Amino acid sequence: MAAGEAGGVGRAPACLCVFCGLPAAGKSTLARKVLSTSAQYGWRASVVPYDDLIPEHAFQTKVVENGVKLQEMTEWKLHRQAVLWCIEQFLEKPQVLAKLPSSCQINRAAWEQCIRALQHPEALNRSQADGAPLLFLLDDNFYYPSMRYEVYQLARKFVFLDSLGFCQVYLQCDLESCISRNQSRSEPIPTEVILEMVKRLESPNPQKNSWEANSISLNTTDNLSKCGIQRVMELISSALSNPLSPVEDNTEQTEADRLKCATSVVHQADQACRRLVSEAMKTARENQVPPEHMRSLAAQLNESKAKFLHSLRRQLLQEVSSTQEEDVDVERVVKTAVDVFDREKKEILLRIINENK
């Protein structure tokens, strides 16, 4: 009899534990060690490896309207949401979780392997398994707080159905060690991917985000110590014993915050884009571009800027998660957006200058 049929999921505590850090920081190694230790605590545990669940083609950037290319505009985000959707479905109806819809955008075989240990834990007998706490170990880089916040939101969603806890483990490892470990793998990822992630990685910050309070940091430059693993087990035990508080209905406030954030980003991006247009016009004059072509340049740049800002605003309203518990890094968002327009500005300027040589 499955745990869900016995009412195990409905009554047993559960925990979503996020492992985050650079590639090759030791997340998968730690997950395996926690998994092997979980039976001693009487837990049903499973590792959720995003690399196995999300197909490689999901990371390919697509060109959308106006030629804008951004990481958020890949299928990758949809696949990440699909992983959380599958966890949600399991928590709601564990007895039918194998019947995933064909539209589910993750590796079906990999997901079934993830939850097999939860349905039929080998280290626990049937009487122990029924009602045993559930533990999901989410193994991914989770380099933006918004990625981790989605997991937190899922955990809070089930406070009325289950006792659901949430915690985070940040694996801190120096860049040289990560690159060295990665190169020794049978299928290493490109080093430039790791270098780029170093720039983007935002580790858990309880001072900034109160929802990240239940987090610890482990130094994994050297091998994992027994003390480090024990810290993780204690963190999870605490999360299981202290489930999250109920979700408050603050839809109106959330929408207001999202609109405020989008307006701020677009305003700052508009100011920055105006400066870039002025710089381009100055460069064109210095290259002795004729007046009629100067007018054409100005028209093209302003049209491009208007389309770009419109697209940016729409994207922000759709995707930015702005709440009182997680502040959006407006400066970073503005910089990323303006860098996109800057490349387009340079292309237009270069085309006009070349036409007049």
Residue 4 pLDDT greater than 50, yes or no:
no
Q: Is the pTM of this model over 0.95?
A: no
Contact 329, 199 (CB under 8 A): no
Asked if 287 and 235 sit in the same domain, the reply is no
Asked if 191 and 321 sit in the same domain, the reply is no
Asked if 161 and 286 sit in the same domain, the reply is no
SS3 (DSSP) at 25: coil
Q: How far is Cα 210 from Cα 151, in angstroms, rounded to an integer?
A: 15
Return the pLDDT at 88. Answer: 87
Cα separations in angstroms, 316 against 112, 320, 332: 34, 5, 13
pLDDT class of 327 with cuts at 50, 70, 90: low
Cα–Cα nearest to 315, from 257, 251, 262, 254 = 262
Report CA torsion sign: 40, 95, 12, 214: positive
CA 318, distance to chain mean position in Å, is 16
pLDDT class of 58 with cuts at 50, 70, 90: low
Return the pLDDT at 149. Answer: 92
Spatial strand order of the sheet with 134-139 comes to 44-49, 134-139, 13-21, 163-172, 215-219
Q: How far is Cα 217 from Cα 219, in angstroms, rounded to an integer?
A: 7
Token pair for residue 280? 């381009």
Tens-place pLDDT, residues 81-98: 888 988 888 888 776 554
In a domain, 3, yes or no: no
Among the candidates 241, 266, 294, a domain finishes at 241
What is the number of domains present in the chain?
A: 2
Give the structural domain span for 114: 8-241
Among the candidates 175, 210, 241, a domain finishes at 241
Tens-place pLDDT, residues 7-47: 334 457 889 999 999 999 999 999 999 999 998 898 989 99
Among the candidates 201, 223, 241, a domain finishes at 241
Cα–Cα nearest to 46, from 26, 64, 32, 58 = 32
Return the pLDDT at 161. Answer: 53
